[in-house]
Structure 1
């Protein structure tokens, strides 16, 4: 697995479970960040907080990072989610675009 940028490591520490630090997570994003998850687009730090608060309130889950690689300007991380959502397990791909040491864009897909 390729080394992961420290900001991405902090992303999974603060937001990789159903008990996230939504404020701490939002600090890792740019003011105009974009998050695309489950067909919905969230923008800005307030959007990041709302997105993470919503996802954490729906299900109990934990994420294990299983891989990482650079793909041009993006960093692609794979993770395995286990929880009480329908199906109970899913592998996800997280595509991060950084601006300096902050996350400018995050797309999450199954």
Structure 2
């Protein structure tokens, strides 16, 4: 499966050392929705990503990708330090050019 570059970066970046590359995958006005919270812009998104990794020590392995409603839906097996691990989650990405504009994780 070939993922668009910003989505590939999302799944391959290593916290915390790849923080700048991870943040650069997002548009300046990007939004991430996860666990009932909203994170706006690359700086907040990078902070959320680093904090989530520190808390859960997780990794996500993409399984498949489909397109629906103008979004790319990536199902990934997520494993880490959380109840129910591993779990299959859906990552709904909206892209603008070569950047992630919107991401909903569920």
TM over 0.5: yes
Give the unaligned 5+ runs of structure 1. none
TM-score where L is the length of structure 2: 0.90
Instruction: Render the CA deviation track for 1:3-60: whole Å, top value 9, x for unaligned.
Output: 4212211211115xxx342221110001110000111000001111111011011021
Give the equivalent residue in structure 1 for 2:5. 6
Across the aligned residues of Structure 1 and Structure 2, the Cα RMSD in angstroms comes to: 1.4
Shift of 1:82: 1.2
Give the equivalent residue in structure 1 for 2:99. 102
Give the unaligned 5+ runs of structure 2. none
**81-90 or 50-59: bigger deviation:** 81-90
Aligned length: 105
TM-score where L is the length of structure 1: 0.87
Which aligned runs of 4 or more in structure 1 are off by greater than 3 angstroms?
none
Give the equivalent residue in structure 2 for 1:76. 73
Secondary structure of the structure 1 residue equivalent to 2:82: coil
